[in-house]
Structure 1
Amino acid sequence: MVVGTPLQQRKNNMSQTTLKSLNGHDRAFEPIIVADIGGTNARFAVVTEFNLETNQFVIDHQFTFPSAEFQSFESALSAFLAKLTIKKPSRACFAVAGPIKGQQVYLTNLGWNFNTQDVKSDFGFSELAVINDFAAFAFAAPHLSKEDNIQVKTGQADPNANIAVLGPGTGFGAACHVKDIHGSAVMSCEAGHISLAAVTELDRQLLQVLKESTQHVSVETVFSGPGLARLYKAMAQVKGVPAEDLNAAQISARANECDVCDATLNQFCDWIGSVAGDIALTFGALGGVFIGGGILPRMTERLISSRFVERFTEKGIMSQYAGQIPVTLVVQDNIPLIGAAACLHDRDQFS
């Protein structure tokens, strides 16, 4: 409901414009405590400003703690707050590598679990959100810097369209930043557990070998840290050579001297192009696709020289549609912290 006369509304709008115009910074922005909680480290920071001109958040007061040093999330958060030299912000958003069920958050690798309402009350937050790490990636996507990341595929991003994020790491994650005339939201999903599809004859041969030991060959079966080792063993069997017991790091390190390792990495980059294209079509990601995770940023040159773009675009009658979608490999730091800030900031913009 619109309240006030047209003149009053114009004055209100002018007031907001003035409030948000000093040096390009949003003077109405209230600081946000953000966190990136993983199995190895718990990273905390305070987002102090939002730059309207660059669409970037300013991250200050960063501290990183080894997660294993704490018995609970609450004790890690308390340690961060004890180090702050500024007044404690009343808003917070945490990105966590674990499942969230209602108000319960589980970090299985750490044995931590907490209730969001209890944390909000115990620490005196007026506003608190907890999101998973790939939801944070999706929230961060519109705020990423082009200069700090790598374009894998050119295209024309529609600024008003959906954005897809995905990536292989310990597992395979994906999410979508959805936009419409009413605002924006993030949709999480379980794309890592959809069935992996074969496109080429080599894909089909590898898939057949993988099915001998895995009843359901999902995207994550191949596109993850353990998945790269599975793909290597399948590649060795298809090529008729004995496989060694190699992990992902060893496969990457030996690619220059081992034909099977080299073929495995090439296949990994090629095949994930098809997967990324499928996810782009599923989400209608005309706003672009952003790839992260812990694996592909370590093989940038191989990804760019692979058949990723060709495989991404080969979608039959939808090839032209897929062809216009840009793909960016995200190597920029602090993505979960940016996404946590964007989660609350975006909510404010459309509330």
Structure 2
Amino acid sequence: MSQTTQNSFNGHDLAFEPIIVADIGGTNARFAVVTKYDLDSNQFTIDHQFTFPSAEFQSFESALSAFLDKLTISKPSRACFAVAGPIKGQQVFLTNLGWNFNSQDVQTQFGFEQLAVINDFAAFAYAAPYLKKEDNIQIKAGQAAPGANIAVMGPGTGFGSACHVSDIHSSAVLSCEAGHISLAAVTELDKQLLQVLKESIGHVSVETVFSGPGLARLYKAMAQVKGLPSEDLNAAQISARAGECEVCDATLNQFCDWIGSVAGDLALTFGALGGVFIGGGILPRMTERLISSRFVERFTEKGIMSQYAGQIPVTLVVQDNIPLIGAAACLHSRNQFS
């Protein structure tokens, strides 16, 4: 059955051509139709949502066909898909699924007049101006400058980041490889941990500490710095033992503190006076610890730029329809400024 994930709006609806949107990940393929955009509330209406286990399909095209077969409305002529994988020109790679497709071929096969395929963190950046404060969690207070750059970032399987840039004439999203920049030390403990990490992995990037097996690496390094024994624990085990294990507790605190510095660095890099939105698969499960950590202090401690960083609000995004909103926003912004 179709599902409406946001309420319809009583305010002013712009003339809006429906958009097929998708969130394609390693576990699920979510499809929906965005049927309206309301100017007063700055919100999209998402209808006809279906979720399919990705493993049930041999290709992206077969999953899309299954969704179209379930639609009870005329097929929209516009589509935008957010995918958890690299995009090179028109070639799209979903490595965890073994799916590869060419966006131009898909556009021709399914008869779309307009089609875009974007990375999932690009979708996060496109969605940022349309997020509702009450649906998410404020980590750091501040005053977002209207129309200013917005940065998005988040640790998960990898570390993603992007920036939404806009002016009165146009808007765009800048993708980047921020996960592979060198992780910087601020405190003495940071320096000691970096030294230990370098001995085992050489180049210590943001991603190697804050994504995938990064928490386990940080735990091992923390135990060595403290001169305490360690076990072979994964991220879930470290989190579960934090109340009874000194090293686990210190590891989670350090994770939240240190990522505050990283978020502040990216805010300065992107000039994100419109705010910073953080998400990904890890931080929403650590909300209380993140709020009670030194994240805000580490975010703001930027020397002569501390006042600049201090005015930037930081929001932890916990709503789950970000890729769908971002996919709609991608085409909406392109047409709005065309």
Is residue 2:295 matched to residue 1:308? Answer: yes
Q: Say if 2:205 is the partner of 1:218.
A: yes
For residues 78 and 116 of structure 1, the distance between their equivalents in structure 2, rounded to whole angstroms, comes to 15
Count how many residue pairs are aligned between Structure 1 and Structure 2: 330
- The 4+ residue runs of structure 1 with deviation greater than 4 A are none
Given that residues 149 and 271 in structure 2 are in contact (C-alpha distance below 8 angstroms), is that contact kept between their aligned partners in structure 1? yes
User: What's the counterpart of residue 20 of structure 2?
Assistant: 33
Partner of 1:6: none
TM superposition shift of 1:198: 0.2
Task: Tell me which structure has the larger Cα radius of gyration.
Answer: 1
Stretch deviating more after TM superposition (134-143 or 43-52): 43-52
Alignment partner, residue 224 of structure 2: 237
What do residues 215-265 of structure 1 show as CA deviations (whole Å, max 9, x unaligned)? 110000111131111111111111111211111111111111111111000
User: What does residue range 72-83 of structure 1 map to in structure 2 within 5 Å?
Assistant: 72-83=59-70
Q: Which moved more, 1:59-68 or 1:174-183?
A: 174-183
Letter in 2 for 1:292: G
Picking from 153, 162, 166, the partner of 2:153 is: 166
- The one-letter code of the counterpart of 2:189 is L
Contact 1:35 1:340 (8 Å CA) reproduced: yes
Q: Distance in 1 between matches of 2:195 and 2:167?
A: 42
Q: Does 1:288 align with 2:275?
A: yes
Please list, as runs of the form range in 1=range in 2, the aligned pairs for 1:79-158 lying within 5 A after superposition: 79-158=66-145
Is this contact kept in 2: 1:225–1:295, CA < 8 A?
no
Cα contact 1:120–1:126 (8 A) shared by 2: yes
Does the alignment pair 1:47 with 2:34? yes
Asked if 1 retains the 8 angstrom alpha-carbon contact of 2:11 and 2:40, the reply is yes
Please give the secondary structure, in 2, of the residue aligned with 1:106.
Answer: strand
Whole-Å separation in 2 of the counterparts to 1:238 and 1:53: 54
Aligned mate of 1:186, from 162, 167, 173: 173
Q: Which moved more, 1:125-134 or 1:217-226?
A: 217-226
Percentage identity across paired residues of the two chains = 88
Distance 1:61 1:23 in 2: 20
Asked if 1:329 is matched to 2:329, the reply is: no
Contact 1:149/1:331, CA 8 A, preserved across alignment: yes
Paired residues for 1:5-20 under 5 Å: none
- For 2:102 and 2:212, how far apart are their aligned partners in 1? 30
Task: State the Cα deviation string for residues 292-331 of structure 1 (Å, max 9, x = none).
Answer: 0000000101000000000000000000000000000000
Deviation for aligned residue 1:23: 4.1
SS of the residue corresponding to residue 225 of structure 1 reads coil
When the two chains are superposed, the root-mean-square deviation of aligned CA atoms in Å is 0.9
Residue pair 2:14, 2:38 contacting (<8 A) in 1 also: no
Cα separation, 2, equivalents of 1:243 and 1:187:
40
Q: TM-score, normalised by structure 1?
A: 0.93
> Is the aligned partner of 1:70 residue 2:85?
no
Q: Does 1:299 align with 2:286?
A: yes
8 Å Cα contact 2:14-2:39 kept in structure 1: no
Q: Secondary structure at the match of 2:139?
A: strand
Give the aligned residue type for 2:294: R
